[in-house]
Amino acid sequence: MRPGLLTFKVHRPLEIPLPESCLATVIGESLGRCDTVATLASLLTEPISAVHIFRREALPPEQGPDPVLEELRSAVCALRLPMDSQSPWIADVIVGEHGEPLMVGRHRKGLPAHPCPGALPELTLPAHAPSRAWLKMRQSLAWLELGEAELKGRSALELGSAPGGASLALLEMGMQVIGVDSAAMHPQLLSHPQFTHLRQSAGAVGPKDLPMRVDLLCCDMNLHPGVSLRYCRKLCRLLQPRWIIFTLKINDDAVASEMEDWLDSLRSWAPSEVHARTLPANRREITVVSSMADL
Ligand SMILES: C[S@@+](CC[C@H](N)C(=O)[O-])C[C@H]1O[C@@H](n2cnc3c(N)ncnc32)[C@H](O)[C@@H]1O
């Protein structure tokens, strides 16, 4: 109905859990609209454990903290809302253009939802990052709630690692990273003691080049999902990762319409439940994650 927001009318009791879509960033049940946050409480008939306030169209992360959202967050803190840390519900307050009513909804916490408002951890792309994939990786790690405490000392393999933004984000978490790409890596990656570059195609990488296991398998190759998933499947079987983070490219409309089929094929061999969403840093691609911690 507005850029970044799609609503559907349902003429029967709402099906819970709501249907998923890999093309959505946040999926929730609409509770109504309000002109100011002061009337938010009247829309919340059940307790919530948190309020997520985010823009209908995310601002570029380069702009840093968003004063409009900051002001709304302070106003919400001052309200008496039905808060209960045990509640499975998170309220969503979606902010549009100036003068547009706030759209209020709710979603269930936990995977497949992202834990940050609008799936957007408050991060600014550092000037030294070799590519925007740094942001994409940080948004994906935040989705799996993985930080330095979980990742330090663990290993990662990234297929399609050049020039190196995503691998840098993993190195900054204290991981050992192997990057596979026939293109050149940025010099700051090549000089990093925890980084190894395999300058070859992912299709040519085999057991002789790799450790027995890796903790995290990542894929960011600009290939058709059918090809990248074939490589990922082989390496997933070999390396038995605990976590996977893949971006699947939507190079044309045919790929977009087949995406659910590609996800079903991925679900048949992934180590655990697979979740797919479009994160704010994704362009014509989706992000897919899977975590053994789900078991
Ligand atoms: C979107 S870029 C990756 C960005 C990177 N993840 C980063 O953090 O900067 C896609 C990469 O996939 C690589 N690629 C394409 N086909 C590949 C293949 N068969 N094996 C390995 N890498 C491949 C390209 O060389 C390109 O560097």
Ligand 1 pocket list (CB less than 6 A):
130-131, 133, 159-167, 180-183, 201-203, 220-223
Mean pLDDT, the chain, as a whole number? 94
Digit-coded pLDDT (tens) for 119-169: 999 898 999 999 999 999 999 999 999 999 999 999 999 999 999 999 999
**pLDDT for res 182:** 98
Residue 293's pLDDT band (cuts 50, 70, 90): low
Quick one: CATH architecture of 133-294?
Answer: 3-Layer(aba) Sandwich (3.40)
Residue matched to tokens 């897919």: 288
pLDDT in tens, 190-224: 999 999 999 999 999 999 999 999 999 999 999 99
Which tens digit of pLDDT belongs to each residue from 223-232?
999 999 999 9
- Quick: pLDDT tens for 9-39: 989 988 878 888 999 999 999 999 999 888 9
Beta bridge pairs of residue 285: 249
- Cα(137) to ligand 1 centroid in Å equals 14
Query: Quick one: pLDDT at residue 11?
Result: 92
pLDDT at 43 over 60: yes
Domain(s) of CATH 3.40.50.150: residues in the chain: 133-294
Measured from the Cα of 202, ligand 1's closest atom is: 20
Going from the Cα of 162 to the center of ligand 1, the distance in angstroms, rounded, reads 6
pTM: 0.95
Distance 244 CA to ligand 1 centre (A): 16
**Cα 159 to ligand 1 centroid, rounded to whole Å:** 7
* Residue 4 Rama label (left phi>0; alpha psi -120 to 50; beta): left
Whole-number pLDDT of residue 271 = 83
